[in-house]
Amino acid sequence: RRRLLGTASAAGAAGLVAGGAGGAYGYAATTGGDPLTSVGSTAVPFHGSHQAGIVDPAQATGHLIAFDLAPGAGRKGAAALLRRWSAAAETMAAGRTPNGDNQIALDAGPSSLTVTFGFGLGFFAKTGLQNRVPENLAPIPPFSSDALDPRLSDGDLWVQIGSDDALVAFHTLRVLQKEAGDTARLRWQMNGFNRAPGATERPRTGRNLMGQIDGTNNPKPTDKDFAAKVFVSGKSGAESWLNGGSYAVVRRIRMLLDSWDHLPLDRQEMVIGRRKSDGAPLSGGTETTPVDLNKINKDGSLAIAGDAHIRVAAPASNGGAAMLRRAFSYHDGYDQDGTPNAGLLFIAWQADPFNGFIKVQQKLDRADGLSRFIRHESSALFAVPGGCAPGEYVGQRLLE
């Protein structure tokens, strides 16, 4: 009964067109039958001009892991590691068993597994490749509302794992960790989740832990300028290795859920500028109706408040700055004072972080009504190489 339903491009396009990344699922629910039977059999190709895990719909389970290169690993050690990691990721994404398997995912299909690799600034110093650091891989400037934990920030190497099955995701994590051997040491790990495919009647934009529909106004692969916003292109010389790649900004953003839950519904909706029930903008229409930032209510007030998140974050308020948000929620239990340690593993993808996350966060930092209910607790920026062809490994153009 199992069929291979949906390739990366079919699944990605369907999911994103249906309602944006961050929870829209592209499995073939429309073909009839039980959509759940397709979860295991959906495979996202590892090879391609871009790495998987950027444009594809965000999966039900995610692991974000940062590693630091061991002293002495050097460029040769890093290249061998990326070769091992790429081979293992390719094998598992196709639903095959990697070398020295531990049987954790033995009876599961690929379950939309994607593995994405990125390089932090420290990677270049430790591999003697300082002269190949891309210009835009500079430290993210501090923001006044930051409460960053350095132990959960930065890192030489970044791995993003996503799968619609939690055991497949954990299996991948263990295999890659084993393959790291003595070359790289784990620096931090974050575990996240999204709604599972099949949980809703039709694929639709997912909700975050504040209950909002999140991901609606993401750039769409069908937009004319999508690739220009998300992927690096046209670089020559020392940076040419990054063509086809992207920059990932990773921010672990805690939600102050107890304060949020005390806010009445109409106030919660004003904080974002959209209705909670269906994600429609407060300027009217449905979830996908363009936002009218100039609309005035009968009483003379702005329909989308001056400090509403979607006003302050919108490209129109930031000289066109845009990013693709592809997040996971997280919940790591409770702090001693009883407050939930939960929020968003916010991942922003853009061709230029200074004309994406950084420009927008500079504005949000000063003017966003949502900032009273969230706290940025960790931060990292990674240069994510383009995808590789069969027989190649991710990062080969930099490391060979």
> Pick from 272, 270, 261: which is nearest to 340 by CA?
261
DSSP 8-state symbol, 301:
S
Distance CA 230, CA 308 (A): 25
- The Cα 287–Cα 284 span in angstroms is 9
Sequential DSSP letters for 327-383:
-EEEEEEE-TTS-EEEEEEEEEEES-GGGTHHHHHHHHHHH-GGGGGEEEEEEEEEE
Task: Tell whether residue 344 is a contact of ligand HEM (CB under 6 A).
Answer: yes
**C-alpha atoms less than 13 angstroms from C-alpha of 205 in its C-beta half-sphere:** 25
Q: Considering the rule CB under 6 A, would residue 275 count as an interface residue with ligand HEM? A: no
**Residue 272 interacting with ligand HEM (CB under 6 A):** yes
Of 135-143, 196-204, 259-267, 358-366, which part binds ligand HEM (CB under 6 A)? 358-366
| Residues involved in catalysis | 214
* Nearest CB to ligand HEM, comparing residues 206 and 245: 206
Beta bridge partners of 328: 345
- 190 contributes a contact to ligand HEM by CB under 6 A: no
Residue 126 backbone class (left: φ over 0; alpha: ψ -120 to 50; beta: rest): alpha
Instruction: Give the one residue of 313, 345, 347, 394 binding ligand HEM; rule: CB under 6 A.
Output: 313
Q: Give yes or no for residue 108 binding ligand HEM (CB under 6 A).
A: no
How many Å apart are CA 310 and CA 157, to the nearest integer? 32
Q: Which residue number, 85 or 349, has a Cβ lying nearer to ligand HEM? A: 349
The residue range among 59-67, 152-160, 340-348, 386-394 that interacts with ligand HEM, by the rule CB under 6 A, is: 340-348
Identify residue 239 by its one-letter amino acid code: E
**From 74-82, 130-138, 177-185, 341-349, span contacting ligand HEM (CB under 6 A):** 341-349
Contact track, ligand HEM, 208-237, x by CB under 6 A = x-x-x-xxxx--------------------
User: Nearer Cβ to ligand HEM, position 48 or 315?
Assistant: 315
Q: Where does this chain bind ligand HEM (CB under 6 A)? A: 208, 210, 212, 214-217, 253, 255, 272, 274, 291, 309-310, 313-315, 343-344, 346, 357, 360-361, 364, 374
